[in-house]
């Protein structure tokens, strides 16, 4: 099945460029575009995309608020387009429900891979970047007290969630726990269902926000 995509950016050339690239792939289909966040929300309501490529700095409504509204009312996954790696808006986007991040000068192949990875529910960021990004995110946001659903996890599911939050892949988690990779996939699927999360990126955010996982540097400060 084709991945349905909406491209959101206030620059016509950026929207056209990303759209043209994506349409070269037989499994990717651009179903809409928008020049600002408000129109993005409206377009997504009508076209029901799987993936939204979302710029941050836009008139009328910025990409953070648009991300918050789109993720609140649909299953679309948001990939935030940013000019600078780990800029200040990335953390706000995570809190709003973004599933991944791409630099605007991304290569075509990286763009295609990113869309497919996020559409499949996987974490877009590389493990080392995930740890660095989420650790900073955790420091900037107030710690929640065991968000709804966390206590519903079994001991093994809690263990798997901790390893996901550390940036380990399913294969690496399987090696660590001495189980099959399919077993890990089943655990991850159940975790997402119980916590009502859309993908691994949001699971990582949840683990840090809840205090289930504490960034290593914060552990040292607390000892």
- DSSP assignment of 85-105, as one string? TT-HHHHHHHHHT--EEEETT
Could you give the domains of the chain?
Answer: 3-120 (3.40.50.2300), 136-222 (1.10.10.10)
Q: What percent of the chain has pLDDT over 70?
A: 80
* Residue found under tokens 């997402």: 192
Smallest Cα–Cα separation from 144: which of 213, 61, 190? 213
Tell me how far apart the alpha carbons of residues 59 and 36 are, in angstroms, rounded to a whole number: 6
Least confident of 49-58, 185-194, 203-212: 203-212
The tens digit of pLDDT for each residue in 47-80 reads 999 999 999 888 889 999 999 999 999 989 999 8
pLDDT above 50: residue 97: yes
The number of beta carbons lying within 10 Å of the beta carbon of residue 5 is 26
User: What is the value of pTM for the model shown?
Assistant: 0.72
77 DSSP β-pair partners: 51
Position 25 scores a pLDDT of 94
């Amino acid at each position: 099945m084709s991945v349905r995509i909406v491209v959101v950016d206030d620059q016509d050339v950026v929207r056209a460029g990303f759209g043209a690239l994506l349409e070269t792939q037989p499994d990717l289909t651009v179903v809409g575009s928008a020049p600002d966040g408000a129109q993005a929300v409206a377009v997504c309501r009508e076209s029901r995309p799987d993936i939204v490529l979302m710029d941050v700095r836009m008139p009328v409504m910025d990409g953070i608020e648009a991300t918050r509204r789109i993720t609140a009312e649909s299953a679309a996954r948001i990939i935030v387009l940013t000019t600078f790696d780990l800029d200040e808006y990335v953390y706000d986007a995570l809190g709003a429900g973004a599933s991944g991040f791409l630099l605007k000068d991304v290569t075509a192949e990286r763009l295609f891979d990113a869309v497919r990875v996020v559409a499949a529910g996987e974490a877009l960021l590389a493990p080392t970047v995930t740890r660095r990004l989420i650790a900073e995110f955790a420091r900037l946001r107030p710690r929640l007290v065991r968000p709804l659903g966390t206590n519903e996890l079994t001991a093994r599911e809690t263990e798997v969630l901790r390893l996901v939050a550390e940036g380990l892949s399913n294969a690496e988690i399987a090696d660590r726990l001495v189980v099959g990779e399919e077993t890990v996939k089943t655990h991850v699927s159940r975790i997402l269902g119980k916590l009502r999360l859309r993908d691994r990126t949001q699971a990582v955010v949840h683990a840090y926000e809840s205090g289930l996982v504490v960034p290593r540097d914060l552990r040292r400060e607390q000892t």
